[in-house]
Chains A and B, each alone.
Chain A
Amino acid sequence: MSIDLKPVPHATPESQSYWNGVAEGRLRLQRCSQCGLVRHYPQLVCTKCYSVAVEWIDASGRGTIHSWTVAHHAFHPAFKADLPYTLVTIDLEEGPRALGRLDLASQSKLHIGMAVQVSFPANDQGVKLPMFTAMV
């Protein structure tokens, strides 16, 4: 890891469509072409039917808070300016889970089950990543 810059995601052949979606502000998930199981993070094989055939769906971007942590210590210098920041795990409507930041305005209401919506704002290095906001 570079000392000065935040690490950036490196897409793989399996995940390129996910990151293409992020660039367009869309949450895209893998769906098994054979049995329909939606999975995340992107991976080669369907755990239910073992097919490698996959299609990409646009997820709703909605979900509920599953858990969280608030970072008070920067384990990498590039994140110091962000402290404190909240990372949330989200049960997506489609089934799988996602991890993202929680926007500042939503933090006071934080609880398990809180409804959230994803967006993909660019961070201070111009990298787009998932950010969740409480739905009103």
Chain B
Amino acid sequence: MMSLKGKGAITGIGETAYERASPFSAFELQIQASLAAISDAGLDPKDIDGIIPIGITGAPAEAFVMNFGIPDLRFSALAPLGGASGIAAVQCAVAAISAGLCNHVLIPAGRNVSSGARAGVRIHQMPQFHQVTEYELPQGAIAPAQLYAPMARHHMELYGTTSRHFAEIAVGIREHALLNDNALMKKPITIEDHQNSRMIADPFRLFDCSLESDGGAALVVSSAERARDMRQPRVVILGSGEGHPDSPSSITQRPDMTRLGIAKAAPRVFEMAGVTHADIDVAEIYDCFTYIVLCQLEDMGFCKKGEGGPFVEDGKLRLGGSLPTNTHGGLLSQAHMLGMNHIVELVRQLRGQGGRAQVDGAEIGLVTGYGDMGDGAMAIMARG
């Protein structure tokens, strides 16, 4: 059987400035980020022959063909997994390239929530969440914070996980954001600041919740073979996978509420990549909420289910720790860019372009995505 191991590489990355309220439309932000990624790869927009746009309500592939004058788009697809879409799209791109369907796939994302619907409203317009809209929304279960909080509360009651464990995640990621000029949050926070931040949806306090922000991010995926001769240091995708939780569209009906889709994908990804947990030098873990980071660490097997609190407590997720995590500041403190910023950051780290947050000697890293109530995706990448 053919494996995708080592077949694809991320050859271009691009980001706009992240802002609270961007003057640009989501599509314009996508275009800006796309041009940056294509230029980073040393390509011309007309070299792009595959497109997987992120965001099911965003601009279609045709919009990029029109604006870039792409002469022969040979492949387009959608990967509708919410915040896991970016990694799922990378996997889809590698599969298409490996099968000879196309050469360079653009994965563009753009977001302007300041001029559009915010999280609570968006969910209820999405057809896959019609049950949440019918049965839960009328009762006041509206926003992701409220829908995800019972997962965290269940974990706390079963395993003794505490809000201070969540705080350690928020504080460490904030430290990293302070090293990133393109991060929205500019002030350090302490565990006590977290504990004093206002309650949003118990057990989630304000500092457990990700930011709402505007911006664009884009990737170019090419074959690992072509990537040898392209502009940037090569970052190869060793393994990738997506996983969908039981009862994917209703958290309420999920038999084990503490098990996300990534629990199904992670063993496949480690096996495909042929690496172990100890080989991971840097991790970019989807952090819409602090608890979601903790749960994914367990689901990926970095510790046993229920041990995520003590696992993170010693500061190992901070720069200098054994598993530096969200070196860019994540969704919690850099910006909410649907996890595309996590993929961009992992590539930077593995190229050695991590700036003040560079993990010394980072050679192998992982990135995760989470979205749509529990879908997960994961990739392991390596330099060289």
Bound-state Cα–Cα, A63 to B200, Å = 27
Contacts of B139 in A (CB 8 A): 87, 99-101, 129-130
Q: Quick one: which of A9, A75, A130 has the most chain B CB within 10 A?
A: A75
Interface residues, chain A, with chain B CB atoms under 8 Å away: 1, 6-12, 15, 40-41, 66-73, 75-76, 79, 82, 85, 87, 89, 96-101, 111-112, 127, 129-130
Q: Quick one: which of B136, B143, B252 has the most chain A CB within 10 A?
A: B252
Question: CB distance B134 to A1 under 8 Å?
Answer: no
Of the candidates B119, B140, B153, B203, the one whose C-beta lies within 8 Å of that of A82 is B140
Contacts of A1 in B (CB 8 A): 121, 124
Question: CB distance A129 to B138 under 8 Å?
Answer: yes
B89-97, B144-152, B260-268 - interface stretch: B144-152
CB distance from B154 to the nearest CB of A (A): 4
Question: CB distance B143 to A75 under 8 Å?
Answer: yes
Interface residues, chain B, with chain A CB atoms under 8 Å away: 119-121, 124, 130-131, 133-143, 145-146, 149-151, 153-154, 157-158, 198-204, 250, 252-253, 257
Question: CB distance A99 to B142 under 8 Å?
Answer: no
Supplied contacts A41-B134, A69-B201, 4 more A-B pairs, CB within 8 Å: A9-B138, A41-B131, A75-B119, A112-B154
Question: CB distance B198 to A7 under 8 Å?
Answer: no
Of the candidates A41, A66, A85, A87, the one whose C-beta lies within 8 Å of that of B250 is A41
CB distance from A28 to the nearest CB of B (A): 13
Contacts of B149 in A (CB 8 A): 69
Question: CB distance A76 to B120 under 8 Å?
Answer: yes
Of the candidates B119, B130, B150, B198, the one whose C-beta lies within 8 Å of that of A67 is B150
Question: CB distance B201 to A89 under 8 Å?
Answer: no
